Structure 1
């Protein structure tokens, strides 16, 4: 297959409905290699690449300001992204359904979370497509054997999606940090993102928003509570608090300090050790690199994925959330959306923060 046919095949599958076969031209690829997604979207060498994503598609979510003066939470979600991905050892991609769910909890202003939520889907999609294109060209020239190999249990398509997730968060942090320096912004944001494909999930986390699974379990007293659905909660993320041993070591090695001001804070200011933005603390060990779970296969019992800002967890535990979902699905609660109910309950129980949650029913059974 020659290069023109490869480009045509990729773009024919691409959800942006690009009108020509020149979207990944050699000159556009050079722009990408030198400047990443932001450069592609603004370059005249890449005229067919324009941002097209809304922030939320096909998702059950809820978000409220709560008692805070400003709403700094943002979400981004698309459960039906059509992406051409490569099967092991094959030269041609096939269109696959990929879900991406993200919560961005801003602090010090809404600027960082707002930018992250607006850019995330377009950046992620672009990085995925361009990396597939590069793999196919290399494979066509017989310079790359990676298409027929795995790293551990990670397939090529999973590797490409993981790399796209990492690079997307890195580039969003870079773009926001540049604007923050120019405009003297002190904002920052968490980023908790879950990628879903073919019955497997990958979680990337920056900060203290959370992702968790609600998995069905059998009741020990089933004869008494027949009809009740019981869910157990499994947290998929670990909060990046400055007093976490590994996070503290990095902060202190970079010349920062952990000072308790209500809660442990970097230099007495920031209550998390990883974030998008917060440029004034980057030199003191605050990073935007997400902590990844590694790919995880969903089981038949994994029923709901929940991604939420930390305001939800001011008044609810993960077990509370999954227990509520079990009640709701057993017909013991109202017919309102699960996301709306979770936000309302967290607010009623005393959360004082912004509140945001995305609930994803998992079709793994």
Structure 2
């Protein structure tokens, strides 16, 4: 039904859109602009009132205006991207994004997170889980967005942009660490999971370490990242080829050179020559707002205690993303997470559509059924 609406609009109003796309976009987002535009021309008044203001209220058109599906996030539609991609695309407002972090049983919270609008059409979301101190996570939190913004000017492919940004920020942190009198900087590092959203529909995720990103589609989790652990055959082989080794601790968890539980990270400079790299794995997804409820970025305080389907179910029970982020991180602590727990939740078009009527959680479930084995 969304495509039919757009076809009708473009057929009858396409010429005006081509001549005044910027004006039209502003009209849809600002009530006062709608009033002034409608006074300019009877033709414009009929066009906007019949298609984007059906009740004559002057309010911007939303998903519910078109009666397409149930949605509890009242967001205006982005007109130019919707015409460009041939489907209705909501405006993702930064104020509607949920963020929460919990200390857990640690003495210090080494997790960091950030959300920002980098350009007119690109949004940025990131979580970092520091280890050996918060220095590397702090460095990424301060500078990652700047590196990405700089590379976006030079490159349209957001997968290449993220790869360049990860590699360059790792080099920059290394320069700072080698110039510092603080020798502990050589042994600290951080995971990094970063997502870019262009035009509200093109989603690209890059990650190193074991922080995660997943998309909830039709109530089911779609994993967008894979943990970089020595359990992965290709990761283990790279470590060995570079002269490193993998050792298992008393809990049966593999570590690079008996120290690091991941094979890719930003920082960990003492293990760079042993095959621990900062090059991320990337994933590109085209969103389907009729089916996609949200994107969630999490650190391992959540991941190793709550599995992917449980994450979707917990969030789907909540009224809004802010509540959902708080509930998710608190739930991880209640389930026994000792590590810092952080979550960012970005709502999409199907928010609230796939709420499960029966959700139950077992406190007695085995650890092997959660976290990285989910």
TM-score by length of 2: 0.64
User: Aligned runs of 1:257-296 on 2, under 5 Å?
Assistant: 257-261=245-249, 262=251, 263-293=253-283, 295-296=284-285
Between the aligned partners of 1:268 and 1:182, the Cα distance in structure 2 is: 27
**Alpha-carbon contact 2:123-2:197 (below 8 Å) kept:** yes
Larger Rg over CA atoms: 2
Between the aligned partners of 1:174 and 1:101, the Cα distance in structure 2 is: 22
Q: Paired residue for 1:340? A: 326
Residue 355 (structure 1) aligned with residue 341 (structure 2): yes
Shift in Å, 1:292 = 0.9
Shift in Å, 1:66 = 1.2
Shift in Å, 1:335 = 9.5
User: Aligned runs of 1:117-136 on 2, under 5 Å?
Assistant: 117-129=141-153, 131=154
Q: Paired residue for 1:166? A: 163
Shift in Å, 1:314 = 2.5
Shift in Å, 1:210 = 0.4
User: What is the CA deviation profile of residues 204-232 of structure 1, one whole-angstrom value per residue up to 9, with x for unaligned ones?
Assistant: 0100000001122xxxxxxxxxxxxxx11
User: What is the CA deviation profile of residues 117-151 of structure 1, one whole-angstrom value per residue up to 9, with x for unaligned ones?
Assistant: 1101111111212x16xxxxxxxxxxxxxxxxxxx
Secondary structure, in 3 states, of the residue corresponding to 1:63?
A: strand
CA RMSD across the alignment: 1.9
Residue 178 (structure 1) aligned with residue 164 (structure 2): no
**Alpha-carbon contact 2:98-2:321 (below 8 Å) kept:** no
Between the aligned partners of 1:125 and 1:81, the Cα distance in structure 2 is: 6
Residue 65 (structure 1) aligned with residue 65 (structure 2): no
Shift in Å, 1:179 = 2.0
Q: Paired residue for 1:49? A: none
TM-score by length of 1: 0.65
User: What is the CA deviation profile of residues 320-353 of structure 1, one whole-angstrom value per residue up to 9, with x for unaligned ones?
Assistant: 1101122225xxxx99611111111111111000
Residue 305 (structure 1) aligned with residue 295 (structure 2): yes
Residue 202 (structure 1) aligned with residue 204 (structure 2): yes
Structure (1/2) with the larger strand percentage: 1
* Count of residue pairs brought into register by the alignment: 250
**Alpha-carbon contact 2:321-2:345 (below 8 Å) kept:** no
Between the aligned partners of 1:180 and 1:81, the Cα distance in structure 2 is: 27
**Alpha-carbon contact 1:76-1:120 (below 8 Å) kept:** no
Q: Paired residue for 2:313? A: 323
Residue 254 (structure 1) aligned with residue 246 (structure 2): no
Gaps of 5+ in 1: 1-56, 84-96, 133-156, 217-230
Between the aligned partners of 1:284 and 1:82, the Cα distance in structure 2 is: 37
Q: Paired residue for 1:242? A: 230
User: What is the CA deviation profile of residues 28-80 of structure 1, one whole-angstrom value per residue up to 9, with x for unaligned ones?
Assistant: xxxxxxxxxxxxxxxxxxxxxxxxxxxxx6432001211101111001212x3
Between the aligned partners of 1:279 and 1:127, the Cα distance in structure 2 is: 24
Change (3 A) 1:103 1:246: same
Structure (1/2) with the larger helix percentage: 2
Between the aligned partners of 1:65 and 1:328, the Cα distance in structure 2 is: 22
Shift in Å, 1:163 = 2.3
**Alpha-carbon contact 1:103-1:191 (below 8 Å) kept:** yes
Shift in Å, 1:267 = 0.6
Gaps of 5+ in 2: 1-93, 352-374
Change (3 A) 1:249 1:326: same
Between the aligned partners of 1:208 and 1:98, the Cα distance in structure 2 is: 25
